[in-house]
Structure 1
Amino acid sequence: MADKRIYVLNGPNLNLLGMREPGIYGSETLDDIASMLEDRARELGVSVEVRQSNHEGHLVDWMHEAQAEGAHAVLLNAGAYTHTSVALHDAIRAIEVPVIEVHLSNPHAREPFRHKSWIGMAAKGSVSGFGAASYRIALDAAAAL
């Protein structure tokens, strides 16, 4: 199982976790989440590759890389691109690697513009609303695929 590599891709503004609206996104930083995922990945016998970019094209390129590198799955928190990016939707559909959408907050309990997810329309599944634990839940699901 150790050859099961799971990409964890994070979109815009997630580099500001811990400082940005902690009442919505929590006090954990992206580094805290990455450490938690690395620990859980070891327990599951998988590995994680955690990345973040504020640029949509990087996320698309990394999904293509996940396909080329034979990744087992991708966890994608696309941030605000969730609600706007047809390019990310198309990238998910273009690869065979299963993608699991992840959100710290519950987009359906927030502003109406957050209720539509281009990512969710293409993803294998979605986990949201559990803070940093959303990532752990998604990792458990990805490892079980």
Structure 2
Amino acid sequence: MQKRKIIIINGPNLNLLGKREPEIYGGDSFEEFFKKLQNKNPEFQLEYYQSNIEGKLVSKIQQAEGEVDGILLNAAAYTHTSVAIHDAIGAITVPVVEIHISNIYKREEFRHKSIISSKCVGMISGLGLKGYQLGLEYFKSTNK
């Protein structure tokens, strides 16, 4: 049986996990967490991509078409500003689950609005890094 391919795409500043505001984001680097996630989910072929550059995130989303079965997307600050990422998600048929480590509704008011949500199959917010595992649970439960 072929493993389903899921890519995790993380946006700006998530390369600083483990260092940046640990009271909000925790003390683990994403690379450390990703290894644990891979070990816990052997039924998936997981990939990971991170960029601080909006255009590179758009390109990675576009490249996912026909290559992966799902995307876990933490667009970070671009969640609240990027029409380009919104449009890229809308241009592909790959299902996208929006992930936020922090609860965006408990933070600054400008973070309460997600521009990308309307193009995603769902959103997980405020459950820390566990949100990525919950996103994988969605893909376990569906053929989408």
Q: Same fold (TM over 0.5)?
A: yes
May I ask how many residue pairs the two structures share in their alignment?
A: 142
Q: Tell me the equivalent position of 2:36.
A: 36
Q: 2:90 aligns with which of 71, 76, 93?
A: 93
Higher deviation after alignment, 9-18 or 53-62: 53-62
TM-score by length of 2: 0.94
Aligned Cα root-mean-square deviation (Å): 1.1
**Aligned-residue identity in percent:** 47
Judge conservation of contact 1:12–1:80 (CA < 8 Å) in 2.
yes
What is the CA-CA distance between 1:106 and the residue it aligns to?
Answer: 0.5
Paired residue type of 2:10: N
Give the Å deviation of 1:37.
1.9
Amino acid at match of 2:7: Y
Contact 1:13 1:54 in 2 (8 A): yes
Q: Give the deviation of 1:68 after TM superposition.
A: 3.4
Structure 1 runs (4+) greater than 3 angstroms displaced: none
Question: Does the CA contact (< 8 Å) of 1:100 and 1:142 recur in 2?
Answer: no
1:122: how far off? 1.2
Corresponding residue to 1:116 among 113, 118, 128 = 113
Give me the whole-angstrom Cα distance separating, in 1, the residues matched to 2:2 and 2:141. Answer: 13
TM-score, normalising length: structure 1: 0.93
Spell out, residue by residue over 1:48-98, the C-alpha distance to the aligned partner (whole angstroms, 9 max, x if none).
Answer: 1111000111111111111032x1100000010000000000001100000
Counterpart residue number, 1:58? 56
Tell me how far apart the structure 1 counterparts of residues 101 and 54 of structure 2 sit (CA, whole Å).
19
| Aligned equivalents of 2:39, 2:3: Cα separation in 1 | 16
Point out where structure 1 has 5 or more consecutive residues left out of the alignment: none
Change (3 A) 1:57 1:143: farther
**1:138 maps to 2:141:** no
